[in-house]
Amino acid sequence: MAVLSTDRLIFSLSDNLEIEACTYKYSPESRLKHMGKHKPGINICLRSSDNQWSVVLKIIKHYQEEGQGSEVVQGVLLGLVVEDRLEITNCFPFPQHTEDDVDFDEVQYQMEMMRSLRHVNIDHLHVGWYQSTYYGSFVSRALLDSQFSYQHAIEESVVLIYDPIKTAQGSLCLKAYRLTPKLMEICKEKDFSPEGLKKACIGYEHMFEEVPIVIKNSHLINVLLLDLQEKSTVADKHELLNLSSSNHLEKSLQLLMDRMDDMSQDIGKYNTYCRNLSKQQQQKQQYLQRRQQENAQRQSRGEPPLPEEDISKMFKPPQAPARMDTLLIAGQINNYCQNIKEFTSQNLGKLFMAEALQGHNS
């Protein structure tokens, strides 16, 4: 069965969306007001997002220093929307939630930071947030909720996912995601029952859309890069060509198996629900039939028919399990599989290269 990749979805979606260029006032409050005046149905199509080098480095540094272990580090992205591009020009990290900081006010921290950054002419408009991930496991309820609240307030916001382990293996792994409009609607209505999801006909592939990232540098930065390259005494390490893959594969597969367990539990729950529902329907039918029979008998005997009892009160329908979690798990499994496939294809290439090298030798 063919599975659509998220990249191709962007093109199919952009056919349906209209592109509108907006000008934004400078302060976040007036910007939000301006957003409110949007006519419903007009969306802004994101083609790509421009990063600045310092943002990339800051994210890397933040994870390196504060995020050792399996905790996620998070932060806020600042930038501007220019025509059909989202430009991310700066970012600042969020402190970790420690046990003794119960009264730590996140909102206040954000406002202070943004106010200070405004003084030094840094774009202080929120355009999204970033998060680090562990082996690609970021599709969770928390992420969905945060991204939804961000996207609800600011339509073009994205979440940047930074994978430090994959980056350490040789190539920068930074991806930008947004929620699809369909998912946005569902989250708005908070209707997570099976009927609601069926109506919206949303699948796990339609949850997130990936936005391509382009990194742009100014000329001054290029000069800096030149200088760095000359003076840098660190030797080039080619981690990308490393042949040892079993460790990474093991961990990924372990996580995949955990998710599959979750999924099978979920499917089990849904099955029991379906069975209960059908059993209940049967019972209802039986009851109605018996009623009718009795009524017919009574009528034949000339007695008044029994009153129609409220069936719905007698047979309460079982609670339909929320389908959102299933969707999330399916999305997560999909993500793991994609990562694993990428990894194995890279490794196959490396193995063939090693064979060529040996071939020369022998």
Residues 110-149 within binding reach of another protein (CB under 8 A): 112-113, 116, 119-122
Between 43 and 262, name the residue whose CB sits nearer to another protein.
262
**Number of residues in contact with another protein under rule CB under 8 A:** 107
Q: Which helix (H) or strand (E) holds 130?
A: strand 126-132
Among 78, 81, 86, 94, binds another protein (CB under 8 A): 94
Q: How far is the CB of 109 from another protein (least distance, A)?
A: 7
Among 31, 47, 58, 182, binds another protein (CB under 8 A): 58
DSSP string, 131-158: EE-STT---SHHHHHHHHHHHHHSTT-E
Residue 172 interacts with another protein (CB under 8 A)? yes
Q: How far is the CB of 160 from another protein (least distance, A)?
A: 12
Among 54, 254, 278, 289, binds another protein (CB under 8 A): 54
Between 8 and 237, name the residue whose CB sits nearer to another protein.
237
Spatial strand order of the sheet with 208-211 comes to 48-51, 85-93, 74-82, 126-132, 158-162, 174-179, 208-211
Instruction: Tell me which DSSP letter residue 20 carries.
Output: -
Residue 217 interacts with another protein (CB under 8 A)? yes
Among 144, 256, 324, 328, binds another protein (CB under 8 A): 256
Q: How far is the CB of 158 from another protein (least distance, A)?
A: 14
Torsion angle defined by CA atoms of residues 330, 1, 254 and 246, in that order, rounded to the nearest 10 degrees:
-140
Between 35 and 172, name the residue whose CB sits nearer to another protein.
172
Q: DSSP 3-state assignment of 358?
A: helix
**Which positions from 6 through 45 interact with another protein, judged by CB under 8 A?**
none
Distance separating alpha carbons of residues 53 and 218, to the nearest angstrom: 9
46 neighbors 86 (Cβ within 8 angstroms):
yes
Among 214, 277, 311, 314, binds another protein (CB under 8 A): 214
Site string for another protein, 174-213 (x = CB under 8 A): x-------------------x--xx--x-xx-------xx
Residue 109 interacts with another protein (CB under 8 A)? yes
The phi and psi torsions of 297 (rounded to 5 degrees) equal: -60, -45
Q: Which helix (H) or strand (E) holds 48?
A: strand 48-51
Strand-pair category, 158-162 with 126-132: parallel
230 neighbors 321 (Cβ within 8 angstroms):
no
**Which positions from 281 through 340 interact with another protein, judged by CB under 8 A?**
323, 326, 330, 333-334, 336-337, 340
